[in-house]
Amino acid sequence: MTPPVIKTERLRLRPWKEADFNAFRAFMADPEAQAFRSGPADAIGAWAQFCAKAGEWAVCGMGTLVINEADADRALGYAGLWSAPYLDEPELCWSLFADDGRGKGYATEAAAGMRDWAYAALGLPPLMSFVHPENHPSRAVAERLGARCLGDTTLRGQPRLFYRHVGPV
């Protein structure tokens, strides 16, 4: 599937391009940004993950998109659907790369845009998200999206809270 371009009130979510790699690499190398993931990645590991994100659309027919302000083409983060063979269903996910994109509601707006697109374009049922219990900003995003925490789980050996989003309206 060709990745869509999704427009929200303030944002444009678009496919990945090579020029996004430097922002992604810095995000992947930042120990604080990776505290709730598998830890920082070197340039080679970041490149592998970057290519995987871009390739998810070809392999899975869904994936993540880069978050830009509507009038700029600077990668602020990503939002989208993560599908892996060991998951029963796709996860609605989001991340912001740098502090200057945080605190503005961009993650919530981007995730809502992706969620609504997934329901309308792919006909998916209510989505889920995994959030680390100590990742309070991501917990707040899930809750602002109307998701309910259904309990504790693990993902790749790390603790997670399992959130269920509201379904299509």
Instruction: For residue range 22-48, list pLDDT tens digits in order.
Output: 999 999 999 988 988 878 999 999 999
Residue 116 lies in a domain: yes
If you average pLDDT over every residue of the chain, what do you get?
94
Q: Is 105 exposed, middle or buried (0-12, 13-18, 19+ CB in 10 A)?
A: middle
Task: Tell me the backbone φ, ψ of residue 53, rounded to 5 degrees.
Answer: -60, -45
Residue 10 lies in a domain: yes
Residue 132 lies in a domain: no
Q: Model-level pTM? A: 0.94
Residue 164 lies in a domain: no
Residue 38: per-residue pLDDT:
79
Residue 92 lies in a domain: yes
Residue 154 lies in a domain: no
Structural domains of the chain, count? 1
Q: pLDDT tens for residues 111-137?
A: 999 999 999 999 999 999 999 999 999
Residue 155 lies in a domain: no
Contact 56, 83 (CB under 8 A): yes
* Residue 169 pLDDT > 80: no
β-strand partners of 77: 67, 96
Domain region containing 62: 6-125
Instruction: Give the distance from CA 93 to its chain's centroid.
Output: 3
The CATH number of residue 121's host domain is 3.40.630.30
Residue 56 lies in a domain: yes
Q: pLDDT tens for residues 60-116?
A: 999 999 999 999 989 999 999 999 888 899 999 999 997 777 889 999 999 999 999
Q: Is 37 exposed, middle or buried (0-12, 13-18, 19+ CB in 10 A)?
A: middle
- Run of H or E including 113: helix 106-122
